[in-house]
Amino acid sequence: MDKLNTILIGILIFMFAAAGVYAFAGYSGNDALAVHYMTEQEWSDASCGGCHPGMDEEVAESYHVEQDLNKWTSLMEYGVDVDSIEGEERALTYGQVHPGGGYMEEYGVDLDCMSCHEQNDLYDYEARSEAIASGNFDIATEAALEEARTEMQQEPLYVVSYMLDVLTPLPLVTEIHDEVNAGPRAEQCASTCHIDAASQTGVAWADEDYAQYDVHADVNCYECHETEDHQIGSPEVIDAPESVLEDMGGEVKSCDSAGCHEGISHGALVDGHLSAVECETCHIPALPGTGIEGGPVVSSFSWANGSREEVTYDSDFTPTISWYDGIPYNSLPVKTNMSEDSMLKPFNTITGVWWDEGLDADVAANPNTSSAIGDPITPSIVLEADQNSDGEVTVDEIRSFDGNSDGNPDYPNAVLRHVEMYFPVSHNIAGSNTGLAEPLVCADCHGSTATAIDWQGLGYEEDPAGADSDFTGSEIEVSIPDQAPTEVEREPAF
């Protein structure tokens, strides 16, 4: 037995020594070994495929890589629909928030797992973004870790992780590997690719003090945005092609999902609202208009004169409560009417102004209320149409503009659209001790004191609970399954 123990110990020592040599070789010039650190930012079937078989193909098919965007999402930032941004212009525009691969491969930007999975704030998103924005695609991926690469390959955490990866079975590898490369962190999603949501919906998720705004600040994104085959759960998309809907395989958990607020009750009367009212309608009573990372929040934008002009909030504001049945894909996110499937939800409403060719019949007839995306005129062309160079483009100027000098106006039917766009809000959830304001109560929406809802605007003749009723003082109770009963303090018996 002693002899066997000696042999086993010898084998173990040899394995540790070999793993150590193997690990340190990774940053001493051996490119074949260095790839396991992922600091080379390239997929390797030899070092990655063993634990993640077929994962590179799975990621390549995800909608984060395919980036099939809702057609209207570029209007506020660029003044045109997404389909108008093609080729290298698309790479320059959206490549900064693209994980690589997909259409970015054509420009030498391969899929980089580290862009989402690096755990220690060493990935330089700004350097990568600047390289792409300037057209230096070939150095973008390397720029993200150029300063940190050697440090990471010599950092004890990484070296030990790699050594133990070699020696331990898969369950232990996960515990070790996750300290280096694991699931995307909320900070990565919020402060990089999704920072623009702050100016659209007032979400404060990129702020260091986000916990003051949202009771869910400590919840990681993928805990609610369930992920399957690298398809991260997204809000329901409507009017999209079947192929797009199939790609968006993941779902977003509902508030009463198992492990969240399953079984919670606010009493029979309030619970009866949940068939038509989303939880966040009451739990997002106010939004920060300014003072947040990625802000201030936009209330209106205009491309009427060929360059973007915007108006932003300078203080906290109240979101608009309206009907919601999903995020449109091929149409504008305008106000929707009450329907069998719609729910009340909070929105930030942003009024957008832009010129349209007027070719779509509905746009021509109803430029301000039509949900059709139509045919937005490129801002650079609008600038050219300013014939007297006074900085203001008139209807006569845009309709008489002859850019190709063929003797015929290019946009004889042009119309200037003023569209109120509804951006749904799902974050900055307020609780009893968190948020900009207390969650809404009965009197905020019903009766003579109601200010939170425009009932006529929602399609009602009047407040369903009675416009003259008085709900002040009505409290909303909360009960949680298996919650311990409230202790009652009593005077000592003796």
User: Is 436 domain-assigned?
Assistant: yes
Q: Are residues 159 and 243 in the same domain?
A: no
pLDDT recorded at residue 303: 98
User: Is 210 domain-assigned?
Assistant: no
Tokens of 149: 């690469």
Q: Are residues 173 and 308 in the same domain?
A: no
**Into how many domains does the chain fold?**
2
Q: Are residues 188 and 255 in the same domain?
A: no
pLDDT recorded at residue 248: 65
pLDDT recorded at residue 3: 59
For residues 152 and 122, is the Cβ–Cβ distance under 8 A?
A: yes
Question: Within 13 Å, how many C-alpha atoms sit on residue 421's CB side?
Answer: 27
pLDDT over threshold 70, residue 294: yes
User: Is 221 domain-assigned?
Assistant: no
SS3 label, residue 376: strand
Distance separating alpha carbons of residues 218 and 447, to the nearest angstrom: 36
| Lowest-pLDDT range of 136-145, 403-412, 474-483 | 474-483
Last residue of a domain, one of 440, 464, 479: 440
pLDDT recorded at residue 288: 97
pLDDT over threshold 90, residue 195: yes
User: Is 464 domain-assigned?
Assistant: no
Q: In the 8-state DSSP scheme, what is residue 459?
A: T
For residues 370 and 363, is the Cβ–Cβ distance under 8 A?
A: yes
pLDDT over threshold 50, residue 31: no
How confident is the model over 359-373, as a mean pLDDT? 97
pLDDT over threshold 90, residue 88: yes
Mean pLDDT computed over every residue of the chain: 86
pLDDT over threshold 80, residue 73: yes
pLDDT over threshold 70, residue 325: yes
Helix (H) or strand (E) holding 232: strand 231-232
Range of the domain at 89: 2-197
Which amino acid, one-letter code, is at 26? G
Q: Are residues 185 and 37 in the same domain?
A: yes
Q: Are residues 129 and 254 in the same domain?
A: no
Distance separating alpha carbons of residues 429 and 204, to the nearest angstrom: 11
pLDDT over threshold 90, residue 227: no
Query: Which segments of 415-485 does DSSP mark as H helices, in order?
Result: 442-445
| pLDDT 10s digits, 244-286 | 776 666 688 999 888 899 999 999 989 999 999 999 999 999 9
Question: Within 13 Å, how many C-alpha atoms sit on residue 7's CB side?
Answer: 4
How confident is the model over 80-87, as a mean pLDDT? 93
Q: What is the chain's alpha carbon radius of gyration, rounded to the nearest angstrom?
A: 28
pLDDT recorded at residue 462: 93
Q: Are residues 82 and 168 in the same domain?
A: yes
Helix (H) or strand (E) holding 419: strand 415-424
| pLDDT 10s digits, 435-463 | 999 999 999 999 999 999 999 999 999 99
Q: Give the Cβ contact number of residue 260 at 10 Å.
A: 14
User: Is 165 domain-assigned?
Assistant: yes
pLDDT recorded at residue 481: 74
144 or 174: which leads in pLDDT? 144
Q: Name the pLDDT band for 478 (thresholds 50, 70, 90).
A: confident
Q: Are residues 270 and 322 in the same domain?
A: yes
User: Is 446 domain-assigned?
Assistant: no
Last residue of a domain, one of 173, 197, 221: 197
How confident is the model over 402-410, as a mean pLDDT? 94
Q: Are residues 305 and 435 in the same domain?
A: yes
β-strand pairing of 327-328 with 237-238:
parallel
SS3 label, residue 299: strand
pLDDT recorded at residue 422: 97
| pLDDT 10s digits, 2-30 | 555 565 455 545 444 444 444 444 444 44
pLDDT recorded at residue 77: 95
User: Is 227 domain-assigned?
Assistant: no
Tokens of 371: 């949900």
How confident is the model over 212-226, as a mean pLDDT? 93
Last residue of a domain, one of 440, 463, 482: 440
pLDDT over threshold 80, residue 313: yes
Q: Are residues 10 and 102 in the same domain?
A: yes
Upstream peptide bond of 296 is cis (omega within 30 degrees of 0): yes
Q: Are residues 77 and 136 in the same domain?
A: yes
Q: Are residues 150 and 88 in the same domain?
A: yes
Tell me the sheet residues that pair with 277.
Answer: 344
Tokens of 459: 């399609």
Tokens of 139: 């150095």
Q: Are residues 242 and 387 in the same domain?
A: yes
3-class SS letters over 319-349: CEEEEECCEECCECCCCECCCCCCEEEEEEE
User: Is 84 domain-assigned?
Assistant: yes
